[in-house]
Amino acid sequence: MLTFDMTEKQEKILQAALQLFAREGFHATSTSKVAKKAGVSEGLIFRHFGNKEGLLQAILEEGENRLKSLFVDIVMEPNPKEVIRKTIEMTDKIDVSDYDFWKLQFKLKWELEISGDKKMEPLNMALTNAFRKLNYESPELEAQLLILFIDGLGSAVLKGSKLNSDQMIQLLLKKYNI
């Protein structure tokens, strides 16, 4: 990621914080734990990020970008059926090494009350347009419904549910005649 002007230790801190926040939770993770895991003095966290909240923000900003880069391929797609297909297959595109990162995003929606509604807006628009082109009766609703689904599927996968996501994706594609 484009975190170029960053010390080695700064990155270590972010990495450790991401893992701990994602696995244990924000409030359950102390700054001293983060420092220990990062192999760094606790004070350094506050030098670089101001406070614990600032540390979280630094992680979340990167999240904004990652989400956008996931969406850009979908939003640019002209073929409406392809928009829907790519959306449905989105969860499959998530790299296992990024699980901590996405888990944190979901977790924070509940632990702190970060909505995530706004972040979905571009996808919502793209889907609404796609459904409109395909002459669906309520394109806006259809878009929200599909977003609801990928949110649920993502959440299930990240929580380690025994649900077979490949089969689920196939089933959905069929339902949308793709």
Partner DNA sequence: TAGATATAAGTAAGTACTCACATAAAAATT
Partner DNA sequence: AATTTTTATGTGAGTACTTACTTATATCTA
Kindly list the residues in this chain that would bind a second copy in the complex (CB under 8 A).
Answer: 25, 27-28, 106-107, 109-111, 113, 115, 117, 138, 141-142, 144-145, 148-149, 151-153, 155-156, 159-164, 167-168, 171-172
41 binds, among DNA, a second copy, none (CB under 5 to 8 A by kind): DNA
Where is 149: in which H helix or E strand? helix 139-158
Site for DNA in 6-35 (CB under 7 A): 7-10, 29-33
**What is the number of alpha carbons within 13 Å of residue 25 lying toward its C-beta?**
6
CA distances from 79 to 29, 122, 138, 154, 178 (A): 45, 16, 19, 24, 12
Residue 45 token pair: 């966290």
145 binds, among DNA, a second copy, none (CB under 5 to 8 A by kind): a second copy
Name the residue nearer to DNA (CB basis): 10 or 128: 10
Q: Which stretch binds DNA (CB under 7 A): 50-58, 97-105, 131-139, 140-148?
A: 50-58
- Max CA separation in the chain (angstroms): 59
